Amino acid sequence: MRRTTMLSALALVLCSVARSVDAQSGGTSSASPAPDATTSRLMQRLHALAADSMEGRRAGTPGAARARRWLIAELRAIGVEPMGTSYEHPFVIRTRNASPDTNGVNVVARIKGTAGSGPALVLSAHYDHLGIRNGEVFNGADDDASGCVTLLMIAERLMRERPTHDVILTFFDAEESGLQGARAFVANPPLPLSTIGMNLNLDMVSRQDAGALWVAGTSHTPMLKSVAESAANGARVTIRFGHDTKDLKPGDDWTNSSDHGAFHARGIPFLYLGVEDHPDYHKAGDEAHKVDPTFFRGTMEYAYALLRRVDAALPDIARARRTP
């Protein structure tokens, strides 16, 4: 089992940022500027949620419970209230073999919009990963600590600049077990499904191996293409569209590849942000120190810009719902 101290983790962050700055400038100066406060907080949170102490965050394990407590503590510090009487929304994880069922827990919070009524936006990521296998911790920094951390960063901004419509922050459990947290959410929602205008789901948004962030879902709700394109103006990272049509080879259609699939099955429009698979996908090498802070900051900024444009268009998006 690998162990990484907080000091070494922070050192890796600073070194990674310095290398990124040097690469962009073409220089090799040892006096590279330190990351700004926002990027530092982004990476510190990523290292915390993807630390060995979380034991890979496998659903139903002590590591997952530890990660859940960390997420709730962050939400409380930001000032985001729970959805209902508790942040924790438990459900039963059904197993596919003779093993007994276990318990999963979604973390759900709400940022109230200024309109006071109208459709709501579900902003989601999954906090579970693969746990410990053969003594190795599968920390899942990109998959999907990166999405969860992005949600926290967006929440901080929304508390300062309130959205027009309610934003339901949802950290799903048991995504790796067949989207079971998201399926439990739509089966027993904390608000009427009819009031959910759309789902914006983030899963794997920090690795720049293929050099782009993909937006999926626009083929199912074409009006979302212009919304997502407008958010891409001035984006710090390359934004591409696709991975959402049936004519693709197996595995390339991401329509049901993450938690947004549960919303799509109920006729709720979705947009999914993610990178293409990298060599560390579902491997022990998916570590925070392999993330390029500059790219990750860029995907976070795009996600926030997209949310603001979705918020403005949400009534029209809600009217585009299909009957499943």
**DSSP secondary structure string, 253-290?**
--TTSSTHHHHHTTT--EEEEEPPP-TTTTSTT--GGG
User: In terms of Cα–Cα distance, which of 195, 235, 196, 197 is closest to 215?
Assistant: 235
Residue 34: the pLDDT is 67
Contact 193, 266 (CB under 8 A): yes
Q: How much is the pTM?
A: 0.89
pLDDT higher than 90, residue 68: yes
pLDDT higher than 60, residue 21: no
What the block records as the tokens of 238 is 């390359």
Please tell me the total number of residues recorded for the chain in this structure: 324
What's the mean pLDDT when you consider all of the chain? 90
Q: What angle do CA 197, 81, 156 make, to 5 degrees?
A: 80
Contact 101, 178 (CB under 8 A): no
Residue 294, amino acid: T
**Contacting residues for 195 by C-beta, under 8 A, at least 6 apart:** 119, 120
End-to-end CA distance of the chain: 45
Contact 144, 173 (CB under 8 A): no
* Distance of alpha carbon 31 from the chain centroid: 33
pLDDT in tens, 196-219: 999 999 999 999 999 999 999 999
Question: Could you tell me the domains of the chain?
Answer: 6-319 (3.40.630.10)
How many CB atoms are located within 10 Å of the residue 169 CB? 27
pLDDT in tens, 232-259: 999 999 999 999 998 998 889 999 999 9
Contact 167, 91 (CB under 8 A): no
The DSSP symbol for 313 reads H
**DSSP secondary structure string, 7-26?**
HHHHHHHHHHHHHHHHHHHT
The average pLDDT across 3-8 equals 34
Query: Band of the pLDDT at 226, cuts 50, 70, 90?
Result: very high
What the block records as the tokens of 68 is 């859940």
Query: Band of the pLDDT at 38, cuts 50, 70, 90?
Result: very high
Query: Band of the pLDDT at 2, cuts 50, 70, 90?
Result: very low
User: In terms of Cα–Cα distance, which of 312, 311, 218 is closest to 273?
Assistant: 218
pLDDT in tens, 158-198: 999 999 999 999 999 999 999 999 999 999 999 999 999 99
